[in-house]
Structure 1
């Protein structure tokens, strides 16, 4: 009877571990980039969802509704990287310079602040708006300044994985890929 080998030799085990180490070294950086790309997509989708919610509430309630950043969850006093709230806006006109939140009952919905690695920027006619207002007809308030463009990305995303959400004067949303904010 001959000797029958059971198991692996030390050399076979070392070669297997070396091949595994090479595969992991190649895969991990790409995996992290993929995660950041997906987080950018998710942030853009969440922002578009919040804007659509605000617009639909404006039409449903036939009143001004605003999406804005909030540090405390009850007033429009924050930036886009803070918490977001959708509020019934009691400003005097559709073109008022700031939203007016009558009381805590005027807050319709609350979103938690995005992760610290998130980047959210907004622009409208060369300015940096801190809120997006919809009129009772679902059109964009302060539309004389043109469309509002919001860019959402996470640090570490690649090429064109950031998302750009544009709210046109008619209130319609358009989401496209963007390289703004990605390395």
Structure 2
């Protein structure tokens, strides 16, 4: 005769306890993971913007000409360079571009015959509704442009004073602190990043 071996597996009580523990762990883990994703996203966007500013400065020095980083429109997920810089002082940035300002106008005016070296050297599109980019009053008043001169220093269009301003990169998420990164330009060349909290993702101040 064969003996029937006892059935193995989880009891109903053990299964319910396991599910309860998983529910508790998930409650704490999901918000933390979400915050981590947002922080990494903001850091990546801030680093990309800083790289754009450094690229504009390097191009100005290398080419002995003005170089501009400015707010640009986005069409079908691509920077609309032909549309030029977006100078509107309100709203969020959809993206930005860096171009050689060969004619010193502060605007993107390429022309194969008369202005052949005025070219776009770098572009970036922000992550749509995931990241909001807002300019401080000084940056907005400069037509959303950072203009580097051949000496490597930034001065706003038509100005002789060194340029300062801030671009805030922000994500709206309930209950999260440090949901913004403020990329600051000071003294025409100093670039820094600061964490900040803005529940509504409001535009930053100049300092």
TM-score interval w.r.t. the shorter chain? 0.7 to 0.9
CA distance in 1, matches of 2:183, 2:48: 11
Q: Any residues of structure 2 matched to 1:154-173 within 5 Å, and which? A: 154-156=171-173, 158-173=176-191
CA deviation after TM superposition for structure 1 residue 156, in Å: 1.7
CA distance in 2, matches of 1:91, 1:70: 19
Q: Structure 1 unaligned segments of length 5 or more: list them.
A: none
Give the length in aligned residue pairs: 179
Q: 1:136 maps to what in 2?
A: 150
Which of 55, 58, 77 lines up with 1:56 in the alignment?
58
CA distance in 2, matches of 1:16, 1:4: 22
Q: Any residues of structure 2 matched to 1:95-110 within 5 Å, and which? A: 98-103=106-111, 106-110=119-123
Specify which structure has the bigger relative contact order, considering alpha-carbon pairs within 8 angstroms and separated by 6 or more residues.
1
Q: Secondary structure at the match of 1:6?
A: coil
Q: 1:19 maps to what in 2?
A: 21
Q: CA RMSD in A?
A: 2.8
Do the aligned partners of 1:58 and 1:64 also contact (CA within 8 Å) in 2? yes
Q: Structure 2 unaligned segments of length 5 or more: list them.
A: 74-79, 113-117, 202-207
> Does the C-alpha gap of structure 1 residues 121 and 28 become closer, same or farther in structure 2, counting only changes over 3 Å?
same
CA deviation after TM superposition for structure 1 residue 113, in Å: 3.1
Deviations 1:26-75 (A, max 9, x none): 22122212222221222111111111111111111111001112221334
2:156 counterpart of 1:148: no
> Does the C-alpha gap of structure 1 residues 169 and 61 become closer, same or farther in structure 2, counting only changes over 3 Å?
same
Do the aligned partners of 1:121 and 1:150 also contact (CA within 8 Å) in 2? yes
Relative to the length of structure 1, the TM-score reads 0.81
Do the aligned partners of 2:45 and 2:126 also contact (CA within 8 Å) in 1? no
Q: Secondary structure at the match of 2:129?
A: coil
Do the aligned partners of 1:67 and 1:87 also contact (CA within 8 Å) in 2? yes
- Which one is further off, 51-60 or 81-90? 81-90
Q: 1:81 maps to what in 2?
A: 93
CA distance in 2, matches of 1:181, 1:42: 20
CA distance in 1, matches of 2:55, 2:141: 22
